[in-house]
A and B are shown apart, each in its own frame.
Chain A
């Protein structure tokens, strides 16, 4: 066991973790933030995507111990219904960018990361950036629209 210090959705925490504990399991089971999902546990599907120091990472490919000293944002820290939805969440709702919802938190985190880098992405740029996040339900058509929707909302906010 080792002690780590981590800021979780803006709140500083000190937690004891086993060396081999995956960041994903730490988030879901120790922090009880179950919005982050396990899709493959081998880094291929992106369902477990979270932001670590603002960068999208796959929490199934990291140990919790590696997040020591970091700032972690999960889907629960992004925004919530009814009055604090993030524009990306709004976009997914408006454009029907989700069906079963299982890949959705990871998809939203990856989209936030994308828009932070590129506030006005093209269709191709969205598809390229989200190619590492697998969705089995939507065929991605409405996910692309959802990201455009969020990007447009972001531009409106700035003008």
Chain B
């Protein structure tokens, strides 16, 4: 059992300028970005720089007989061509192992050796004077491959007689899992009804507009390898690259400048991030590689790809009793570093009971290896698919009981006075407003009026659907999550360093990088609020391992709780010193010193005062005046860990109105409503931007995006933006958004993660809306994403032919 006695943690933070919090301060990042002066890795130029391109496997599964680089090497302008054999000794294959007893390991060479396991796997690296020449030469590399039959479905991978996918494998799975809590079988036996449904979420991808990019340069003065890397996790990248390249960490410097979107894709370490520094070190010249879009769509990482079999036990009155989940993830060809191929499965099994008061739960499943691009994190890891699956099932229960889906949810959601709630999935929910959010959603969308409109339009031959989803989700994971998975890196803290210079201005050094979230702005607000100095007097620095404290970086909506938490606590400690020094200068006791608008003064005597700047000047320039025991230092560091519990759990509810075209199956979104509760908000404008963008990515997943493969040949079919359909401005409606502000009892300032809620809930809401619209045609079970016109039209045809099988619970 966890010790939750410290349910409420007082961090001793006092806010001197409350107007800095909850304020939509304009972003300090923007002037450079709107002027075209952003600095992305692709903009980095170094003297004598060479350009690399990769030769990638054209086959899903094959033995490598030979890689002939002769012709490529002879092309003028080519400096080097490396193959897997060239890197075999100098680098180590990537192994990302989880600690589960059922784990089976995969070794991923930096460039393929002996065998290729997916289309797009890097086989050779060409380095030349420019990219045009490099690509010319890449087309001259001759590959001699012996094709092998690929594993292209999870069912093939689960077959008992499957060939070992990696050396020494006994099954086709990286890992299997099972956990159980409460009397599952007993509750299923007593329930009035049970319902079993399969829900499938397709494989799709993060697709940031800037792909991956690496520039590496070895400094001959000190053998420091500087690597400009488009990454969310500079220090993790440093560790990963150092480890696999055999170059010590203190001689590896990662610079992540402006990063053009990440969404989870860039929190892993990929083979290319090791191959490019390898080439720079071997050739002693700077080398640049910029991923193109085809590589990004086929050879970086994919995500989701979950098949969820859910079975739910419930009573006539709508009480949900118990849940069984069997989750199968298509994890692709290799385990990704450092999250491992256990990530999607592990969190899905934990997450599945969602925000409901299930009394018992059994979760199990498998992560299956296939000859596809490796599976990695993408905004809303496991929660997107799990929420889609559970919320669809809950809607089908409501339909069977002929209950309003909002009412059914409200009856079963955890109440706000029941926290902390220990979920049967293993999580501890810190706080939340599950029912209140849903009520607010019903009110803001005027759902009763929407239903009336729906009926009117139905009479005019239009098929309108209204869909709801509600969920909570783990963000800012504490140690517990990764310790359970036994991953190579156990995430659960982050660090900040705060420095005040002689002019009273502050620089914050932090590792939680930003890829669009606006941390340079929101973090500065946190500091200005406590120190009561102008916002402009705070500068936020991240993205360079030479200056930022070593931390875990940005993913899993952890930056405001973890990075922001450590900033708040380091600032608290800096302020404590300023207060002591102010007291000394004012000849008052520290308890009696107050701070307002950058001035310290004795309580009740504002006429005598000393400014933050005067104290800073004394500390740095006249330290002879410091009282005994105080050193001439205005710098503090803090490492915040998210204990107790298993992270912070924001919650959210979404309602969407869709229009289904009966002649084409096209789904149009008419209205979109969101109520989100991520605790107190530092900068509402930024949080709203995160929700808007998150919803748009969910719309993409619900309706368009699909990293589809030909199952016979193993060829990827969505390799450009002509086949991989990204949502555009005409696909995303205006999004109406309201907030609730339930604080986490544990984090500094009560903040929770905000970045993933939009994405997590939108496929579920859209699928429920489409299912609602399709009810006009008869019995249709919406059970698979994306809801392309083709799939929706097939549902319409099936319903019209009265062939669809309704979701009928077993009789009791």
Contact of B31 among A82, A108, A134 (CB under 8 A): A82
Q: Please, could you name 28 A-B residue pairs with CB atoms under 8 Å apart, sorted by A?
A: A35-B38, A38-B42, A40-B293, A41-B292, A42-B721, A44-B720, A45-B209, A45-B726, A76-B36, A79-B35, A89-B35, A96-B24, A96-B26, A98-B33, A98-B516, A101-B38, A103-B209, A131-B728, A131-B730, A133-B728, A136-B207, A136-B263, A137-B209, A138-B696, A139-B697, A139-B732, A139-B758, A141-B732
- In the assembled complex, the Cα of A32 lies from the Cα of B45 at a distance in Å of 10
Interface range on chain A: under 10, 10 to 19, 20 to 34, or 35 or more? 35 or more
What 0/1 readout, one digit per residue, does chain B (208-225) give for beta carbons within 8 Å of chain A? Answer: 111000000000000000
What 0/1 readout, one digit per residue, does chain B (247-270) give for beta carbons within 8 Å of chain A? Answer: 000000000001111010000000
What 0/1 readout, one digit per residue, does chain B (674-716) give for beta carbons within 8 Å of chain A? Answer: 0000000000011011001111110000000000000000000
Nearest Cβ distance between residue A133 and chain B, in whole angstroms? 7
The secondary-structure label for the interface of chain A is loop
A100 and B258 contact, CB distance less than 8 A: yes
Specify which chain B residues have a CB less than 8 angstroms from the CB of A144 in the assembled complex.
729, 734
For B723, the closest partner residue in chain A by CB is: A44
Specify which chain A residues have a CB less than 8 angstroms from the CB of B32 in the assembled complex.
81, 101
Specify which chain B residues have a CB less than 8 angstroms from the CB of A96 in the assembled complex.
24, 26-27, 685-686, 688-689
- In the assembled complex, the Cα of A44 lies from the Cα of B739 at a distance in Å of 35
What 0/1 readout, one digit per residue, does chain A (45-67) give for beta carbons within 8 Å of chain B? Answer: 10100000000000000000000
A39 at the binding interface (Cβ < 8 Å): yes
Nearest Cβ distance between residue A41 and chain B, in whole angstroms? 6
- In the assembled complex, the Cα of A33 lies from the Cα of B33 at a distance in Å of 13
Nearest Cβ distance between residue B233 and chain A, in whole angstroms? 16
B635 at the binding interface (Cβ < 8 Å): no
B192 at the binding interface (Cβ < 8 Å): no
> Known contacts A85-B34, A100-B260, A141-B732; can you find 16 more A-B pairs with CB under 8 A?
A21-B132, A37-B42, A39-B293, A80-B37, A81-B32, A94-B26, A100-B516, A102-B40, A103-B209, A105-B34, A128-B729, A131-B729, A137-B261, A139-B758, A140-B732, A144-B734
- In the assembled complex, the Cα of A131 lies from the Cα of B734 at a distance in Å of 14
Q: Which 10 A-B pairs have the closest CB atoms?
A: A35-B36, A102-B260, A99-B516, A101-B33, A100-B516, A139-B696, A75-B36, A44-B721, A81-B31, A139-B692
A120 at the binding interface (Cβ < 8 Å): no
Nearest Cβ distance between residue A135 and chain B, in whole angstroms? 7
B33 and A141 contact, CB distance less than 8 A: no
A34 at the binding interface (Cβ < 8 Å): yes
What 0/1 readout, one digit per residue, does chain B (516-531) give for beta carbons within 8 Å of chain A? Answer: 1110000000000000
Nearest Cβ distance between residue A32 and chain B, in whole angstroms? 8
Binding site for B on A (CB under 8 A): 18, 20-21, 28, 32-42, 44-45, 47, 74-76, 78-82, 85, 89, 92-94, 96, 98-105, 108, 123, 126-128, 130-144
A137 and B43 contact, CB distance less than 8 A: no
- In the assembled complex, the Cα of A130 lies from the Cα of B727 at a distance in Å of 12
Among A42, A96, A130, A139, chain B packs the most CB atoms within 10 A around the CB of A139
B515 at the binding interface (Cβ < 8 Å): yes
- In the assembled complex, the Cα of A98 lies from the Cα of B36 at a distance in Å of 12
A138 and B693 contact, CB distance less than 8 A: yes
Contact of A100 among B26, B132, B209, B692 (CB under 8 A): B209
A20 and B210 contact, CB distance less than 8 A: no
Among A44, A126, A141, chain B packs the most CB atoms within 10 A around the CB of A141
For A108, the closest partner residue in chain B by CB is: B34
Specify which chain A residues have a CB less than 8 angstroms from the CB of B33 in the assembled complex.
98, 101, 104
B35 and A136 contact, CB distance less than 8 A: no
Contact of B260 among A35, A37, A94 (CB under 8 A): A37
- In the assembled complex, the Cα of A140 lies from the Cα of B332 at a distance in Å of 32
Specify which chain A residues have a CB less than 8 angstroms from the CB of B38 in the assembled complex.
35, 101-102
B290 at the binding interface (Cβ < 8 Å): yes
Specify which chain B residues have a CB less than 8 angstroms from the CB of A98 in the assembled complex.
30, 33-34, 516
Task: Tell me whether A20 and B729 are in contact in the complex, defined as CB-CB below 8 angstroms, given that A39-B293, A42-B722, A96-B27 are known contacts.
Answer: no
Contact of A141 among B36, B42, B721, B734 (CB under 8 A): B734
- In the assembled complex, the Cα of A31 lies from the Cα of B516 at a distance in Å of 27
B29 at the binding interface (Cβ < 8 Å): yes
Nearest Cβ distance between residue B758 and chain A, in whole angstroms? 8
Specify which chain A residues have a CB less than 8 angstroms from the CB of B24 in the assembled complex.
96
B689 and A93 contact, CB distance less than 8 A: no
Among B30, B37, B208, B210, chain A packs the most CB atoms within 10 A around the CB of B30
B735 at the binding interface (Cβ < 8 Å): yes
A136 and B697 contact, CB distance less than 8 A: yes
Contact of B692 among A47, A79, A138 (CB under 8 A): A138
- In the assembled complex, the Cα of A96 lies from the Cα of B695 at a distance in Å of 16
Specify which chain B residues have a CB less than 8 angstroms from the CB of A20 in the assembled complex.
132
A40 and B721 contact, CB distance less than 8 A: yes
Nearest Cβ distance between residue A147 and chain B, in whole angstroms? 10
Nearest Cβ distance between residue A75 and chain B, in whole angstroms? 3
Specify which chain A residues have a CB less than 8 angstroms from the CB of B697 in the assembled complex.
136, 139
- In the assembled complex, the Cα of A128 lies from the Cα of B730 at a distance in Å of 6
B34 and A136 contact, CB distance less than 8 A: no
Q: List B residues 737-766 near A (Cβ within 8 Å).
A: 758
A40 and B516 contact, CB distance less than 8 A: no
B293 and A41 contact, CB distance less than 8 A: yes
B720 and A37 contact, CB distance less than 8 A: no
- In the assembled complex, the Cα of A132 lies from the Cα of B42 at a distance in Å of 23
Specify which chain A residues have a CB less than 8 angstroms from the CB of B207 in the assembled complex.
136
A38 and B290 contact, CB distance less than 8 A: yes
A136 and B729 contact, CB distance less than 8 A: no
- In the assembled complex, the Cα of A38 lies from the Cα of B735 at a distance in Å of 29
Task: Tell me whether A35 and B37 are in contact in the complex, defined as CB-CB below 8 angstroms, given that A100-B208, A100-B259, A136-B697 are known contacts.
Answer: yes
Contact of A105 among B36, B42, B45, B263 (CB under 8 A): B36
- In the assembled complex, the Cα of A144 lies from the Cα of B39 at a distance in Å of 25
Specify which chain A residues have a CB less than 8 angstroms from the CB of B292 in the assembled complex.
38, 41
For A95, the closest partner residue in chain B by CB is: B685
B30 and A136 contact, CB distance less than 8 A: no
A80 and B721 contact, CB distance less than 8 A: no
Nearest Cβ distance between residue A35 and chain B, in whole angstroms? 2
Q: List B residues 178-216 near A (Cβ within 8 Å).
A: 207-210
B35 and A101 contact, CB distance less than 8 A: no
Specify which chain B residues have a CB less than 8 angstroms from the CB of A136 in the assembled complex.
207-209, 261, 263, 693, 696-697, 726
Nearest Cβ distance between residue A79 and chain B, in whole angstroms? 7
Specify which chain A residues have a CB less than 8 angstroms from the CB of B258 in the assembled complex.
100-101
A134 and B689 contact, CB distance less than 8 A: no
A80 and B35 contact, CB distance less than 8 A: yes
Nearest Cβ distance between residue A96 and chain B, in whole angstroms? 5
- In the assembled complex, the Cα of A127 lies from the Cα of B517 at a distance in Å of 23
- In the assembled complex, the Cα of A35 lies from the Cα of B686 at a distance in Å of 23
Contact of B36 among A34, A38, A103 (CB under 8 A): A34
